[in-house]
Structure 1
């Protein structure tokens, strides 16, 4: 195992090498793995493949650092986090370009905003302490509720928003007094490794470590007795494995899992004006987001006109390399997901469902590009309706009765998000209240904030992120009862 000296990189370029961040040091690894640019399908970098021993070292360092970090005053940890946000901001352009290169999303419309929101999130979370709550105070008795740190938090992060979804976990965990070890997705490890490297110049040794590697590291992290909590974002099936592994030590677990979110466009909706919001709600990030619109229910009275207008809008959006400033939609991130989305297209065609846009992949084109595909009124039991596609395919489904649309929306093992659209806001809100989801939007989509709890019902997750509820899940509620 070798360590390297920290060095300041140019603000807009970073070509590596990439290192693990462990115990305040940047460490090389014996082995590495390929990182592919999804716009070209070619390897453009090597990421360090951390060993079980290196992950163990990171956990030990985090456990050691916890004692001093948790003992700091809140204001002291706040200063550290704000300094970290300042340092990330200096490398903002570099991180955004790296994100586009490894993830594929358009630079100016998605990668740069992701990095900007991540930096802002750190500052906002740092400004929100969890106060001591007085539960009872009399002349002779005082009861206080404190929220104390848990210890070492293990984070396992996904490939669709690798910067944002990781720093969403880092900020509340660290400000509460915990330390953290992150295992990023092997499909998009570089931006996480990079912000881990940047952290080592700002944060005390061991407070934040990043160890990239294969899937074998996940069970070691989730089952480790010195990990107090796991925060996982990913698929529902993987989430089940995480939960089983964590059960052995009864550690706390937050799971943000898959979704099959529905949008219901009510009969009174001004549907033409909302088509851009609905389109990007479904196709943004090439459809690769857990709260993306996966099912779009429209009333029969305007179904035909809606489909035509939706397709017309979709045709205006350019598919291509995210570094091209004219591109609005990038590739699917990896070959595994590319093949999965292709299987949906094969199923749609095999079952004679009506494709009104897209559907055909240019196999001669390098990279993992799938054109925006619109499926017109597939049956309710179709795979594209029942399962999460996580790609740029959207089924537009006809309904006649709002009650039926609500029932069909709720008839799913998932319950992450949803949206309702209509001129009569009161009526739309009444529908929204009845959807079995962790969050629901009315006449808007994907509005998120540090004070808005984010989580799912059913098999879409366990626990929440954000808001007081999410921040408190990085703490232990400790009741202190005092006889005066």
Structure 2
């Protein structure tokens, strides 16, 4: 089914299609009896696609196909796997523009953000290739009496479950290391952003032997059937802590491994020597990219008491320059939220803040006021005069609300930064590297950035990505990310005397 989609600027119309996405099992598209609609978060009257709803029987088919494929794929040469990854990177490059448009239409983000995500996915593949080239070299030792070899082997069938906020890069960060280490996969995309990743996974699957990569969709019964299945040897899940707890219970039935990349409530600690004009735009990008829907986005900012008012004024001035509109509108610099559940949660959070003693100011310009109620649009908001234990400070808002907390001493800021059960990312902002490094080492987090809001190019290759406390189990990226998808096999040869 095709229809005209009204574009922006000089009355142009773009011909867009309403896509139909089936399951993909063992190199075959598998239609189902039921399909769910995916609607554009920035224009809810627009149906972007229809996605198959699978069943428990489809899970059985997919897992069995992956298991049969594993029996031969695990024996494939590393050179063959590396060649496949190189072809995947080329495929992502060739498909970047069309996939970015699909991503923006289904999860609501700006087109520039989707294009950036495609570049990150490509970089993830190249980084995996680089880290894998020497990864499988066994560790060997020998003395007069024996010889020992510690070798790395693939695990088996991996269940990959990915979220809606950055679906492409988060999908590729599971597929690339799992494939290069010799595993096979059954992937389950989020129903809130299933199309772009399903399109590319079908094309990736075609580069691999049948059954190595399979894609299913469905509700909680489908997800539970996947995570409980005895032939699934490990679950790699990116998402929220509540779902992770259910997955962990399912995994316990067959004592399978879990890898969780979960939520965060990342603190930013501003030191009194920081240049506010320099750092505030950088912090703002971290806080409001994807409308705040990023696991390791800055979600609370600790500011020295004497700099508090100045920081607040400068940040409000910058945030007020956002232009809120549809992700494909070239004039927009701020996009809607992805789904109704998250939209309702953030709206309710705003209302509770308004009933408290804190002060909240909603900023930014509406580009299409008449379309405002036809999408999940919210103003970016700054909250001041917040108590350190207030809900907006301690929860993961996953939306465009930023609390500013005044502190009197560095020790106080560190204590407050560490007083939640989250521990994903964090940042320190200072003119003095040594001072920033000292504080960074006191923060309870899997990652800390000094004078930045994310990984550098080098950091993406070398930093293990993940959290402590309730922000995750295990790591992605770097060589440690490859370790999540292997088991060790130790061999000891006893020499004859």
Q: TM-score, normalised by structure 2?
A: 0.92
State how far apart, in whole Å, the 2-side matches of 1:299 and 1:140 are: 64
Q: Is 1:63 the counterpart of 2:67 in the alignment?
A: yes
Aligned match of 1:76 = 80
**1:154–1:182 Cα contact (<8 Å) kept:** yes
Q: Bigger CA drift: 193-202 or 98-107?
A: 193-202
Aligned match of 2:221 = 216
Aligned match of 1:142 = 147
1:339-378 mapped onto 2 (5 Å cutoff): 339-358=344-363, 365-378=373-386
Gaps of at least 5 residues in structure 2 are 1-14
1:119 deviation in Å? 2.0
Aligned match of 2:267 = 262
- CA change 1:135–1:301 in 2 (3 A) is farther
Q: Is 1:328 the counterpart of 2:339 in the alignment?
A: no
1:15 deviation in Å? 4.4
1:334 deviation in Å? 0.3
Aligned match of 2:492 = 481
Aligned match of 2:38 = 35
State how far apart, in whole Å, the 2-side matches of 1:216 and 1:358 are: 41
Aligned match of 2:121 = 118
State how far apart, in whole Å, the 1-side matches of 2:203 and 2:386 are: 48
1:436 deviation in Å? 0.6
State how far apart, in whole Å, the 2-side matches of 1:344 and 1:192 are: 31
Aligned match of 2:201 = 196
**1:84–1:203 Cα contact (<8 Å) kept:** no
State how far apart, in whole Å, the 2-side matches of 1:461 and 1:392 are: 23
Q: Is 1:247 the counterpart of 2:258 in the alignment?
A: no
- Give 1:17's match in structure 2, choosing from 16, 20, 35: 20
- SS of the residue aligned with 2:346? helix
Aligned match of 1:423 = 431
1:433 deviation in Å? 0.1
State how far apart, in whole Å, the 2-side matches of 1:313 and 1:192 are: 34
**2:322–2:365 Cα contact (<8 Å) kept:** no
1:270 deviation in Å? 1.0
- Give 2:401's match in structure 1, choosing from 369, 393, 398: 393
1:290 deviation in Å? 0.7
Q: Is 1:452 the counterpart of 2:463 in the alignment?
A: yes
* Count of residue pairs brought into register by the alignment: 472
Aligned match of 1:96 = 100
- Give 1:274's match in structure 2, choosing from 263, 272, 279: 279
**1:78–1:127 Cα contact (<8 Å) kept:** no
Q: Bigger CA drift: 141-150 or 386-395?
A: 141-150
State how far apart, in whole Å, the 2-side matches of 1:321 and 1:218 are: 31
- CA change 1:124–1:246 in 2 (3 A) is same
**2:319–2:363 Cα contact (<8 Å) kept:** no
State how far apart, in whole Å, the 2-side matches of 1:81 and 1:14 are: 30
1:103 deviation in Å? 0.6
**2:42–2:326 Cα contact (<8 Å) kept:** yes
**2:41–2:376 Cα contact (<8 Å) kept:** yes
Q: Is 1:380 the counterpart of 2:380 in the alignment?
A: no
1:14 deviation in Å? 6.2
Q: Is 1:408 the counterpart of 2:416 in the alignment?
A: yes
- CA change 1:152–1:78 in 2 (3 A) is same
State how far apart, in whole Å, the 2-side matches of 1:382 and 1:366 are: 32
- Give 2:298's match in structure 1, choosing from 293, 313, 319: 293
**2:131–2:478 Cα contact (<8 Å) kept:** no
Q: Is 1:433 the counterpart of 2:441 in the alignment?
A: yes
**1:132–1:144 Cα contact (<8 Å) kept:** no
**1:311–1:357 Cα contact (<8 Å) kept:** no
State how far apart, in whole Å, the 2-side matches of 1:60 and 1:104 are: 35
State how far apart, in whole Å, the 2-side matches of 1:84 and 1:395 are: 41
Deviation string for 1:82-139 (max 9, x for gaps)?
222222322211111100000111102x101111211221233123321334252334
Deviation string for 1:404-430 (max 9, x for gaps)?
000001011111111011111101110
State how far apart, in whole Å, the 1-side matches of 2:206 and 2:34 are: 25
Q: Is 1:461 the counterpart of 2:472 in the alignment?
A: yes
State how far apart, in whole Å, the 1-side matches of 2:102 and 2:94 are: 14
Over the aligned positions, Cα root-mean-square deviation in angstroms equals 1.8
Q: Is 1:46 the counterpart of 2:77 in the alignment?
A: no
State how far apart, in whole Å, the 1-side matches of 2:147 and 2:16 are: 56
Gaps of at least 5 residues in structure 1 are 1-11
1:153 deviation in Å? 0.1
Aligned match of 1:9 = none
Q: Bigger CA drift: 189-198 or 130-139?
A: 130-139
Aligned match of 1:304 = 309
